[in-house]
A and B are shown apart, each in its own frame.
Chain A
């Protein structure tokens, strides 16, 4: 296992915080979504191709989940950053890049991906619990805003809202750190800290795990978009035909 450097870890922590804040608290311009965060985290650890694949697969799988009203949803952004960080500790170097010709990770990157997905899924679920706890506790901000309002203080109300942004940012950071600590502990318990095989000695494999994950993601995307009827079928078949054509051209 090769951990990212200190400066990379700081950047990843900041990315996790940014992702958590973007989910609801600040801007919501979707930079906190797995596709974006996967790629950004991959760039930080020097594996943009792996990060992009993991981000795209997680984005597809979680495409049904949205931060609507009181709905509980996995904290997908920081979870993706945690997943890519863990994957980078296993496959610190891979020449593979996500593409039409070779969309699924080969060799060493396969196990890295699986470990990253596992951490991301578990971390997302833990993030859901953290989000609910934070939202329950945010009632205190509302009470403080009430007091500021009674005093006629616009600045007081604004301050409580900024505290809300900071708390969301901190939530992402805590989730990321907690996920890495949990993974390190499990890896240590499993004896995964022992040196692995020398780089390049692992043959190219066709582990079905990442492929299945990808296809379940496509199924999840279809499930959110599909309402049934002729027009839906026509668009889907049209897209599929365009995909076949595109595959031949590329």
Chain B
């Protein structure tokens, strides 16, 4: 396990995927997809940041950036750092993708521009106004139900149960088969990682989940008025083809649930660990939205994404060749002391604008408004109805190549 600031640093020379020795780019033997890393990523993330603006991870033969400035720069230069060769370690130019590539996540401009515009409109601020009251009422009801229980698992009974009670209905999914949603997302996010056991096992077991998702993305299976039907309606407007619409619905099912589960889970875990911040929230429930946003910065539920260089580039003074994968450590960037004052502190009044927990630039999370809505109304309901949140048992971490979150978080609530 990596425990010190310099652990894993093995010298100033690294080898590129093609085998050439590189100058000036430190090689590290840190594996950010190992269980020990998931258990406590912070010392290793610090080592990655401090080793240099760009590092080489020898185990997976990949370059990586962990400082805020470089992560932000890579996210905002999609022509140099492309997504169409996959946003995981697997290079679609060399390896067949495990599923048909996403038309939005794994696409570059100009193709990306058209499909992205459709999802932007389906999940726009104006649409959020329409769904807001329903999402807020469901959060209130969920908190009442949990207060009646007193003690429960905040992962299964809250962080999973709440998004599952609102998002699939908002998409317009049938009630049957929804138990496939979280396992499917688990596969998607494990598959961005390297060919380790987590990825291989997830893909081997993915068939039933893939079959469910493919079926639910068809027009006939989506209720009128939902996000899914709104995407299909854009076929009639001529913005996308009938073959593209189900693939865009698939993006909602891939990235719309497990992410908010881990975002809400992160916020509950923060408020349980930092009671003084929960007290501030209770004192002013209008801070709920920022308290959620700060939890996304603090825990970074989506830890990493990759890009691929489209030409020889210079990152922080170091040359990287064309066709190289670059791993972006979003979580490390969100705690980079070069960018954030007191980054290890969960502060619900922090000015969080600019954090990269939802990414940045043209691929920035298209569902971020839904995530914020869910997080805000849930935390506001807790702030009004709950006096204290106590952790009742040791927490258990869930292991995923991309997502950071807990497997169980037993808490006890005291009513206000």
- Asked whether A and B interact, the reply is no
